[in-house]
Amino acid sequence: MPVAFPSCRRNPARGDGGEAHVLGKRHESSGARHANQTYGLAAVARAADCSVIASGCATLPLDSSSTLTISLAAVSGAPAGACDPGTVCTDAICLPSADGGGSGTGCALALVGSGPLADPLSPSGTLLSPPSIVATSSGFLIAYREAASGGGGGRLTTIALDSSGGAAQPIFQTLTAACSAADGLGLVFPGNTGTLALATPPCNGGSGDVTVFSVTGAGQLSMLSSSPGAVTLASTHALASTPGGLLLAYTNPATSRAYVAAIKNGAVAMTPTPVAFGGLGTEASGMVLGSSLGTSFIATGKTSADAGGAMSVTVASEAPDASLGPVPAADVVPATWASAGAVDARVIVATSGPTSGTAVSWLAFDIGTERPATTGSFTPQGSGNVSFAAVALNQDHAFFAAEVGQSLSLVAFDKASTLPVKLREVPFQTLPTVPVGALQDGLVAVAASNTRVAVVWGTEASLQPNDAVGGYAVFACTP
């Protein structure tokens, strides 16, 4: 199916998913094309094995009365791009075989599918939150929020993905009191139904609140509660499903401290006395992670020894039988950003290290211990510094989705529960069918199931006219 390109380019014939994708900036917004502009469009015809048998490209003016025609010419030589062994051609996309073999075996990270997120909220400029993504019983669920940069409210968007990388129609929830999208949102899906939490800053006459939704695997939302509170949520892991129930981590700008509160009967119990954690002196963000064997608390901020733009990260954890009380002592490491993932007794924290650079540092903790069991670092492929790296753990694998320069790289580690070792890496610049564009601001998230890994990203925090919101990619990973 032809898709509008900013310039007329033909991708080489490939068997790794998709026929045509927007490259760089998109010239669409709010579902409507801008009239009287010239577009480059490309199309290919594929055989039953997904090999390309014909292609065409045309530069055409586009208006409401245009009839778009692209002539396809047979490719010279033998058709290329047939599906690799272990994959099948389904709707012109090479997907892993239904039995999970072939391209996914050994966590090969074969591309299953990819695509763009929804069109932006406002054609004149949109403020975008960091996206969240979780695994569900049928695939994955993406959530993010937007605010119109000129005012006028905002919206919450959910998009369900199936295991083949196909995206359902986006579902939009209007947010009337929205003047910023800088905060992240909390999203967990521990069973057949998930929970989503977001914080609205004081604006448009409001005093700020925390809203909790129930969400289905299809992305349908039902509001459970809205509690007053001028708080902020971290870009990742603001909400966790723990052995003791749902916990929400947040920071209070008035006190510059990180806190954790339980969600009971769909409402956040922030009173009478919230539980503080971090102990850095000034906390910028608070995260909470849950697994079957415990709960972990991570804060970023400044200690009295931090100077300039330096920040510190503190990690604490407790066993599953502990009640929500004082958070235990924690280790402190220097960093400019941090994220984390947890499974069973293992927590892996990704950081920049003392300064931002081309490497990702990681620390592996065990539940109930103050010091990391092992540490390491790696330099993902790409040109530029690492803006952010999100982490997801599943079984004995750890997955890092790193924004490197203006692109992305997915890095898989094996033996995550003991001594992690790098397994393989997929730089997104080697995937021409994935609509990455030119990224900034580190808006990236990753999630994993037993057979799939999904990455979602936002283009930038303040979208300009004609900027794409972002995109997603799904990869195969079986033991």
pLDDT bucket at 131, cuts 50 / 70 / 90 = very high
- The answer, yes or no, to whether residue 94 has pLDDT greater than 50, is yes
Quote the number of domains for the chain.
2
Residues 356-391: tens digit of each pLDDT: 799 999 999 998 888 899 999 999 999 999 999 999
pLDDT in tens, 400-452: 999 999 999 999 999 999 999 999 999 999 999 999 989 999 999 999 999 99
User: pLDDT (tens digit, 9 = 90+) per residue, 302-355?
Assistant: 887 776 555 577 777 776 655 666 677 677 888 888 999 999 999 999 999 887
Residues 379, 370 contacting (CB under 8 angstroms): no
78 and 108 inside one domain: no
Q: What's the whole-number mean pLDDT along residues 77-83?
A: 80
426 vs 50: which has the higher pLDDT = 426
Of the candidates 160, 159, 158, 163, the one whose C-alpha atom is nearest the C-alpha of residue 113 is: 163
Instruction: Please provide the distance, in angstroms rounded to a whole number, between the alpha carbons at the two ends of the chain.
Output: 34
Across residues 81-106, what is the average pLDDT? Answer: 65
CATH of the domain at 359: 2.130.10.10
Question: Would you state the structure tokens that stand for residue 178, as one six-digit string?
Answer: 């929205």
**Residue-level pLDDT at 164:** 92
State yes or no: pLDDT of 236 exceeds 60: yes
Contact 195, 223 (CB under 8 A): no
Average pLDDT of the residues in 94-107? 63
Is the domain of 156 the same as that of 50? no
Mean pLDDT of 265-276: 83
Quick one: tokens of 326?
A: 């004082």
Q: Are residues 289 and 432 in the same domain?
A: yes
pLDDT of residue 66: 57
**Same domain as 430, residue 374:** yes
Separation between Cα atoms, residue 137 and residue 120, nearest integer Å: 28
pLDDT of residue 11: 35
Query: Looking at the domain assignment, is residue 447 inside a domain?
Result: yes
Mean pLDDT of 92-119: 77
- Predicted confidence at residue 67, as pLDDT, reads 66
Nearest-angstrom CA–CA distance, 246 and 197: 11
Q: What is the pLDDT of residues 10-34, one digit of tens each?
A: 333 333 333 333 333 333 333 333 4
Is 429 found in the same domain as 343?
yes
285 & 215 share domain: yes
Using CA atoms, how far apart are residues 189 and 141, in angstroms rounded to an integer?
9
Provide the domain limits for residue 271.
Answer: 104-476
pLDDT value of residue 280: 84
Q: Which of 24, 52, 82 is the last residue of a domain?
A: 82
Domain assignment present for 240: yes
479: amino acid identity, one letter? P
Higher pLDDT, 147 or 177: 147
Q: Does some domain include residue 93?
A: no
Q: What is the pLDDT of residue 45?
A: 86
Mean pLDDT in residue range 207-214: 90
The answer on 223 and 182 residing in a single domain is yes
Token output for 321? 């039988």
pLDDT band at 7; cut points 50, 70, 90: very low
Q: Which residue has the higher pLDDT, 423 or 180?
A: 423
Task: Tell whether 164 is covered by a domain.
Answer: yes
> Which residues on neighbouring strands pair with residue 285, listed in sequence order?
300
Q: Taking 80 as the threshold, does the pLDDT of residue 189 lie above it?
A: yes
47-51, long-range: CB within 8 Å, 24+ apart, which pairs?
Answer: 47/79, 47/82, 48/89, 49/82, 49/83, 49/89, 50/15, 50/81, 50/82, 50/83, 50/89, 50/92, 50/93, 50/94, 51/13, 51/15, 51/79, 51/80, 51/81, 51/82
CA 140 to centroid of chain Cα atoms: 11
The least confident of 43-57, 60-74, 155-169, 254-268 is 60-74
pLDDT at residue 151 tops 90: no
78 and 114 in a single domain? The answer is no
Q: What is the pLDDT of residue 44?
A: 82
Cα separation of 142 and 166, whole Å? 12
Q: Is 345 part of any domain? A: yes
Tell whether 191 and 295 lie within a shared domain: yes
Indicate if the pLDDT at residue 269 is higher than 60: yes
pLDDT exceeds 70 at position 277 = yes
Same domain? 75 vs 109: no
Do 54 and 109 fall within a single domain? no
**Does 96 reside within a domain?**
no
- Domain assignment present for residue 209? The answer is yes
Residue 61 has pLDDT above 80, yes or no: no
What's the confidence (pLDDT) of residue 404? 97
Q: Clarify whether residues 145 and 76 are in a common domain.
A: no
**Mean pLDDT (whole number) for 86-104:** 60
- Higher-confidence residue: 469 or 294? 469
Q: Does residue 409 lie in a domain region?
A: yes
Residue count of the chain: 479
Mean pLDDT of the chain: 83
Stretch 278-283: mean pLDDT: 84
Task: Yes or no: say if 432 and 14 are a contact pair by the CB < 8 Å rule.
Answer: yes
d(CA 270, CA 260): 8
Question: Which of 119, 154, 109 lies closest to 446, judged by CA?
Answer: 109
